[in-house]
Structure 1
Amino acid sequence: MIEEIRIENLGVIGTAHVPLGPGLTAITGETGAGKTMVLTGLGLLLGGRADTASVRTGCVTASAEGRFVIGSTSGVARRAREAGADLDDDGTLVVLRTVAVAGRSRAHLGGRGVPQSVLQEIADDLVTVHGQADQARLRSPRRQRTALDAFAGPEHTDLLTRYRAAWTARQQVAAELEDLRSHARERAREAELLRLGLAEVERVAPQPGEDVELAQESARLGHAEDLRTAALTAHEALVGDETSPEAVSAALALDQARRALELVAEHDSVLAALATRVAEVGYLLDDVSTDLAGYADGVQSDPARLEAVHVRRAELTALARSHGGTVDEVLTWAEEAGRRLLDLDSGEDRVEGLAERLAQLEVDLAGTASSVTAARSTAAELLAAAVTEELAGLAMAGARLEVRLVPLDEPGPWGAEDVEMLLVPHAGAPARPLGQGASGGELSRVMLAIEVALATAPGSGAARPPTFVFDEVDAGVGGRAAVEVGRRLAELARQAQVVVVTHLAQVAAFADRHVVVSKSQDAGVDVVTASDVREVSGDRRLTELARMLSGQDDSAAALEHAAELLERSVVGR
């Protein structure tokens, strides 16, 4: 719901604050007073095109600001938060649009700058505008289909949801089947390459970590003599050379140190501890000496084994180069390739299974589509009859609405047919698509009739925006027809917020809120200021209605007629 609109420097408007609220709000005023500029400002807030020519002469920028009350969990709130907007605690969303004479227009949503397209995205969920500049929207098959589906009621909505699920499932299976069939040759080629690779891995039969172990063994065999010499040298340094008793060994020197300390250890605890540590070093020295001797005995030069290691390493290196870099990576590839090969080899079975499933899904989809078509056909007849009845009371006697279902070559995401609404403007005239062969006022009345019909349809309110704006809905009508226009607007306002820009007192009399736009002179130039936009009630409302009836606000007859209109509007609701 729109709470208020503030406009500055737009057309003839200098500053204006337009208060709105629940129910029906009528905006009236003399011709050229700026009523339409209010709708222009609303159009900017809904992401409409910004025309620099609309900026008031002598001003640099124009702006429109609106406060919308929305549900905190609604789609509008969700999209606004995605754009970075902040909502007030009471669920109010502030939208601001500025238009500069030089430069681009700017849009702000909830205090955050956003692209104009974001306002366009949320517009349809906020407001539906029916006016001369918005009739192109009436030609949209999508909107016509949506209106018919909403009119059909909640059971049809559930049926349509099931159809959508069936259609989506059918599309997914068909896409998967097409992918399998169209890429059969590529899959066969991939399977053959995988088989060759796996056969090579099986022939070589690498073991986990084998390449690392062989690299170590190759280094050991290639330097066997150097390793043996180093081990013997270290062993002799630790335990001495048996062929040279005079040589001093580490073991002998360590034993001498231990004995020296043990002789006096009883006299000093510090030296006693050191003697113990030296003894421990001796034990460790003995272990190392033993290991060195064993190592030296075990290292043998083996040219044949070294050659075999080189051959095996070359084989593993060639394999690893094709499938990773290490033997472990080769084994990982082989495991993944095996699973992929199983998947590829099962392709024929999958094709057969998917084909069977697709056939069943198409049968199910056809059945659901038939039910959707039947429901739409019934709803089309009822909607056409309801709108035609409404048109009779809106100065369009002889006009009727036709709602046709146009079959598609194959079921689409929303059913097996498009929806087309056509208007027969008078008896004997050909049926034409909405938006062709009718004036803007007539189209606004057609849309009013459709909206009223939808408002009376059970459960259709959930799919409708909270606010409707009508401009020129009363063009070309008067008398009783004008009263019927007002009555239907009031009826629609029981279901949603309705704003109507009107020049007919018969329509304005049905409003719950009456806003008058007038203009004053500023340096000889017409201008609407904040004081020129006011909500009227009581005697002031009677005066405005009298002006609308006769052009004079002090005519006794007009005032009496205005009072009668107000009284009848209350009774007629």
Structure 2
Amino acid sequence: MIDQVRIENLGVIAAAELDLDPALTVITGETGAGKTMVLTSLALLLGGKADAALVRRGAERAVVEGTFTVPAGGPAATRAEDAGAAVEDGELLVARTVPAAGRSRAHLGGRTVPTGLLTEIGEQLVTVHGQADQLRLRAPSQQRAALDAFGGPDHAALLSAYREAYAAFVAARDGLAEWEREAGAREHEIALLRAGLEQVDALEPQPGEDHALREEALRLGNVEELRLAAGRAHQALTGDVDAPESVDATTLLDAARRSLEQAADNDAALEGWAGRLAEASYLLSDVAAELAAYLDSLDADPVRLEAVHARRAALGELTRVHGPDVDAVLAWAEQARARLDYLDGPEDTAEKLRERLAAAEEAVARTGAALTASRQAVAERLGAAVDAELAGLAMAGAHLTARLTALEEPGPHGLEGVELLLAPHPGAPARPLGQGASGGELSRVMLAIEVALAGAAPADAELRTFVFDEVDAGVGGKAAVEVGRRLARLALGAQVIVVTHLAQVAAFADRHLVVRKNTPGDDAVVTATDVTTVEGPDRVRELARMLSGQEDSETALRHAAELLERADVQR
């Protein structure tokens, strides 16, 4: 919903502020007063094309700002927040700046954004029906969406079931196609996996084996150096057998321990240290024993050393191809066996994929047939509802039909394309919307469709904004009253903004905006335009002007007051 629009230096409008009603707002005024610029300002906020010619003469730039109310968590609010825009208390600020020279700029929620984002969000909130371009329902996809929207919850459930079935069909089709397309690559991969696994199985590597062999190779390759180091350490701990008088660490520790124990009676602290020296003596004795055993095991073994080098070289071939160490090779082998089971395991994989595809095709055909039948019934109801609306819009005998054309292949939205056709009068051939009907007729058809769709919308549907530009073109009298009444009915569940020349339509408005020109004395100065809200007597005078061109005519004023009274009764 659009709450407010502020305009500066746009065409003939120097400055204007429009407060729009949540229900029906009409915009009236003399021809050339600037009503078009009001619609242009809305178009700019919705991402429309900017042109420097729109800038008021003598101004550096034109600025249009709008305040939109967007439902929290709705698609528009979500998209805006994803783009970094601020949505505060359900309000979204939109701005468009058009310089006299240079590129226009778009702002959304305080951030500079691409113009296309305004278009994307605007499509979620606003529907525009103009004399030159009824933007929504000319596209076949939008016509299909309109038909489906009219179907109600039962039809929506059928549509959801079909979309799920179609998604499963696409997944099954793509899965089989990928399996068949990659047959050659799969055989090549199988050969590589088998060769790699044969190499691993031939060597039968053990977890951590490469690291253990490395340590063993270092030990066997440095036996003499290790024996010398271990011997010196053992001699330092236990003494030299060839020199009994030599002092060793064990003897010194025992001497220190006995000395402390002898004096421990005089100070308890010495007893604690003596105990710790005893523990150290035991530890040194254990180390000395282990060093002795280690020295006994140190034997040069050239044959074993050669075997270790050969095994390490063989494992190195595996790690060069399949991982940094043997553990990585074993992990690769486990994954390779699982992959090989998938590629070369069940011979009926392709057959299972074909069966899955056949089942998905059957589900698409079944749900699609149900959807088609429902669309045919919905099309009849929509046609009847629109025809009833058109009868009151000076198009009695006009008939709207929906043509369902079977597609060569199932599509994501059903088994058929949908096209709305209009026969504008009895005997006329039914032709696609936009062909064979005048701009005024087409505007009324769009109004009839929107009223029918609004009547079928759920109570909790998001509030949408509809903009109609001269939807009353080509009608008058009673038909004009019916146009106004239907706009008011549409406004019961949506925001409606209408530019009109007919007092019969304007009388139904919840808010009436008038565009007036004020011509300065200096002809060189560009005309300024005022946009004001009229109420009470001012509104009656505006309706009188629209009726007769004479806002002070007593007859016109009485007629205008009568229009307002009847509109209140007929709403």
Residue in 2 that maps onto 1:67: 67
User: What is the CA distance between 1:161 and its match in structure 2?
Assistant: 0.9
Report if the CA contact (8 A) 1:150-1:463 is conserved. Answer: no
Note closer, same or farther for the CA distance 1:462–1:144 as it changes in structure 2 (3 Å cut).
farther
User: What is the CA distance between 1:226 and its match in structure 2?
Assistant: 2.2
Distance in 1 (CA, whole Å) between partners of 2:231 and 2:208 is 31
User: What is the CA distance between 1:521 and its match in structure 2?
Assistant: 2.2
Q: Which moved more, 1:377-386 or 1:175-184?
A: 377-386
User: What is the CA distance between 1:136 and its match in structure 2?
Assistant: 4.7
Question: Percent of pairs identical after alignment?
Answer: 60
Report if the CA contact (8 A) 1:125-1:465 is conserved. Answer: no
Residue in 1 that maps onto 2:305: 306
Cα deviation, 1:83-103, whole Å, max 9, x if unaligned, reads: 2222333x2222222222223
Report if the CA contact (8 A) 2:129-2:469 is conserved. Answer: yes
Distance in 2 (CA, whole Å) between partners of 1:85 and 1:58 is 32
Distance in 1 (CA, whole Å) between partners of 2:461 and 2:373 is 21
Q: Does 1:480 align with 2:473?
A: no
Give the match's secondary structure for 2:180: helix
Give the match's secondary structure for 2:348: helix
Cα deviation, 1:359-378, whole Å, max 9, x if unaligned, reads: 12211211111111111112
Report if the CA contact (8 A) 2:128-2:135 is conserved. Answer: no
Cα deviation, 1:314-334, whole Å, max 9, x if unaligned, reads: 111111111102010011101
Residue in 2 that maps onto 1:508: 506
Report if the CA contact (8 A) 1:47-1:119 is conserved. Answer: yes
Note closer, same or farther for the CA distance 1:493–1:450 as it changes in structure 2 (3 Å cut).
same
Report if the CA contact (8 A) 1:194-1:337 is conserved. Answer: yes
Cα deviation, 1:117-157, whole Å, max 9, x if unaligned, reads: 22211212211110135325432111101111112222111
Cα deviation, 1:160-179, whole Å, max 9, x if unaligned, reads: 11111111111111111211
Distance in 2 (CA, whole Å) between partners of 1:205 and 1:193 is 18
How does 1:123-202 map onto structure 2 within 5 Å? 123-202=122-201
Give the match's secondary structure for 2:519: strand
Residue in 1 that maps onto 2:203: 204
Q: Which moved more, 1:510-519 or 1:324-333?
A: 510-519
Note closer, same or farther for the CA distance 1:294–1:526 as it changes in structure 2 (3 Å cut).
same
Cα deviation, 1:308-356, whole Å, max 9, x if unaligned, reads: 1111111111111111020100111011111111111246433222221
Gaps of 5+ in 1: none
Distance in 2 (CA, whole Å) between partners of 1:246 and 1:154 is 107
How does 1:434-453 map onto structure 2 within 5 Å? 434-453=433-452
Residue in 2 that maps onto 1:92: 91
Residue 165 of structure 1 aligns with an amino acid whose one-letter code is E
Report if the CA contact (8 A) 1:127-1:465 is conserved. Answer: no
User: What is the CA distance between 1:428 and its match in structure 2?
Assistant: 4.5
Give the match's secondary structure for 1:409: strand
Q: Does 1:4 align with 2:10?
A: no
Q: Which moved more, 1:563-572 or 1:519-528?
A: 519-528
Give the match's secondary structure for 1:57: coil
User: What is the CA distance between 1:268 and its match in structure 2?
Assistant: 5.4
Distance in 2 (CA, whole Å) between partners of 1:270 and 1:369 is 96
Note closer, same or farther for the CA distance 1:368–1:249 as it changes in structure 2 (3 Å cut).
closer
Distance in 1 (CA, whole Å) between partners of 2:310 and 2:360 is 59
Q: TM-score, normalised by structure 1?
A: 0.93
Residue in 2 that maps onto 1:471: 469
User: What is the CA distance between 1:506 and its match in structure 2?
Assistant: 1.3
Note closer, same or farther for the CA distance 1:101–1:526 as it changes in structure 2 (3 Å cut).
closer
How does 1:241-252 map onto structure 2 within 5 Å? 241-252=240-251
Residue 533 of structure 2 aligns with an amino acid whose one-letter code is E
Note closer, same or farther for the CA distance 1:306–1:392 as it changes in structure 2 (3 Å cut).
same
Note closer, same or farther for the CA distance 1:267–1:148 as it changes in structure 2 (3 Å cut).
closer
Cα deviation, 1:399-428, whole Å, max 9, x if unaligned, reads: 432321121111111111111122333444
Q: TM-score, normalised by structure 2?
A: 0.94
Distance in 2 (CA, whole Å) between partners of 1:194 and 1:354 is 24
Q: Does 1:413 align with 2:412?
A: yes
Residue in 2 that maps onto 1:214: 213
Note closer, same or farther for the CA distance 1:568–1:277 as it changes in structure 2 (3 Å cut).
closer
Report if the CA contact (8 A) 1:27-1:501 is conserved. Answer: yes
Residue 374 of structure 1 aligns with an amino acid whose one-letter code is A
Q: Does 1:79 align with 2:79?
A: yes
Q: Does 1:27 align with 2:27?
A: yes
User: What is the CA distance between 1:158 and its match in structure 2?
Assistant: 1.2
Note closer, same or farther for the CA distance 1:557–1:209 as it changes in structure 2 (3 Å cut).
same
Distance in 1 (CA, whole Å) between partners of 2:119 and 2:130 is 17
Distance in 1 (CA, whole Å) between partners of 2:376 and 2:282 is 102
Q: Which moved more, 1:287-296 or 1:12-21?
A: 287-296
Report if the CA contact (8 A) 1:135-1:440 is conserved. Answer: no
Report if the CA contact (8 A) 1:424-1:432 is conserved. Answer: yes
Give the match's secondary structure for 1:142: helix
Report if the CA contact (8 A) 2:128-2:134 is conserved. Answer: no
Residue 82 of structure 1 aligns with an amino acid whose one-letter code is D
Gaps of 5+ in 2: none
Distance in 2 (CA, whole Å) between partners of 1:229 and 1:218 is 18
How does 1:344-383 map onto structure 2 within 5 Å? 344-346=343-345, 348-383=347-382
Report if the CA contact (8 A) 1:519-1:526 is conserved. Answer: no
Distance in 1 (CA, whole Å) between partners of 2:343 and 2:32 is 74
Report if the CA contact (8 A) 1:8-1:14 is conserved. Answer: yes
Note closer, same or farther for the CA distance 1:303–1:426 as it changes in structure 2 (3 Å cut).
same
